[in-house]
Amino acid sequence: MGLFWKIFVSFMVAMTITSIGAIYVTYQLTNQPLTQSDFEGRDRIIAEVSAALARGGERELKDWLFNNPRPAPGTVLLVTNERGDELLGRPTPRELRALLRFRPGRRPDTPPNLRPVQLTPSLTDPRTNEEYRLLFARAPVTFYGILMWPGTPLAVLVIAILAAAVMSLLLARYLSAPIVRLQRASRSLAAGALDTRVGAPSTRRGDEVGKLARDFDAMAERLQALVTSKEALLRDVSHELRSPLARIRMALALAQRRAGPESQPDLARIEREAERLDALVGQVMTLTRLRTTDSPRRDMVRLDSLIGEVVDDARFEYPDAKVEYAPPREVSLRGDAGGLKSAIENVVRNALVYAPDRSKPIEVRLDAAADKATIRVLDHGPGVPEAELTRIFEPFYRTDKSRDHRQDGQGIGLAITTRVTELHGGHVKAANRAEGGLEIAIELPLGPQSKAA
């Protein structure tokens, strides 16, 4: 059944319930009227009112009315004086006000022993001879003394609102529940969980939402297959490149021994390019392995000491550069020490490679709170265009300023950093500094078994 028919049937059910409820309430209110001349307890009420009026006049009558708001089940007694004012100031229903205007008179042709019809009983105060008329009204229906049900129009309106609200709630939950599941699944898929599926019961529906859920699952399966095949291709190609690279380097070493001095610069250039290609293949294989890993190792890692090792290696590799790092207090977490070291090393090396002025230091900071640790690497380089701050973490992506062949980057290091951070439950972000340069922050959660001592 399509969504149109489901919405149509829902509104028809709500309208049907409203109509049945309105007819029932109308029937109950119109077919059980409270007559002024015949109902249970009428004579007793009149006798008690008459006795109160005889004892103390109008004052005693008011006290009796105040103490007996409902002298009989479902009945309210209204007493009016000769001026038509109700003694307790209560409003008089419209149908009873018409009875007050009816005063039977004796026609000339009526027999002398015939008493006129008295629609409302009346009592006379023996002291003042003032006449009081008694009006019996049906007590309004209340719910725990709070809600009042005075008549048919409001009853019909309440039934219509309740029926529409219930049907709208059921319909909204029926329509929104699979949409919420689709939303969660799309976010999970966008975050990299390629095995995310909407699944039953959404896919078993026969309407448009069910078709959308089935199409989403088919799309997710296709995306997972494409990404898996691409990762497998990168892994296989990288693996196959290792063997010819090893043979090229062996042949290059033999050629360097046999060649004369005039050929050494060219052979040295070939050796550098072979080393760069070997490093690129290694990074591709590392990234492929990380992308096919669901969770890293969970060893206790001293994060402050790990960053210190990375900084020492950077100072040794780039002796003319300044790398500043002040080890803080001990910060430990559970994770993969090798992966974390590679992630931090890639960011520090990226800052060293693209920093044009070696006289300005590269700052490495570690800030630890109760639930997370933040590693910041700040440089004084050219920065990155604002529109490309998020794209620099994509594999093989290079900004316009970084395409200088004098630099050594391959565009994979920051992608490895991003994946390692995600596997540890954190995230990485980049921002341009106001004073110039780029800041990359790696945030890692400190779980219950990690600590910032």
Question: What are the catalytic residues?
Answer: 239
Residue 83 three-state SS = coil
- C-alpha angle 350-374-385 in degrees, rounded to nearest 5: 45
Distance, CA of 350 to CA of 354 (rounded, Å): 6
Residue 65 three-state SS = helix
- Is 331 within 8 Å of 302 (Cβ atoms)? yes
Distance, CA of 61 to CA of 127 (rounded, Å): 13
Q: Are strands 147-149 and 331-335 parallel, antiparallel or unpaired?
A: unpaired
In the structure encoding, which two tokens stand for residue 269, read together?
């250039």
Distance, CA of 215 to CA of 197 (rounded, Å): 10
- Within a 13 Å sphere around the CA of 330, how many CA atoms are in the beta-carbon half? 7
Of the candidates 191, 195, 198, which has an alpha carbon nearest to the alpha carbon of residue 214? Answer: 198
In the structure encoding, which two tokens stand for residue 118, read together?
């008295």
The DSSP letter of residue 411 is S
Distance, CA of 283 to CA of 289 (rounded, Å): 10
Distance, CA of 170 to CA of 174 (rounded, Å): 6
Q: Which residues of 362-384 are buried (b: 16+ CB within 10 A; e: fewer)?
A: bbbbbebeeebbebebbbbbbbb
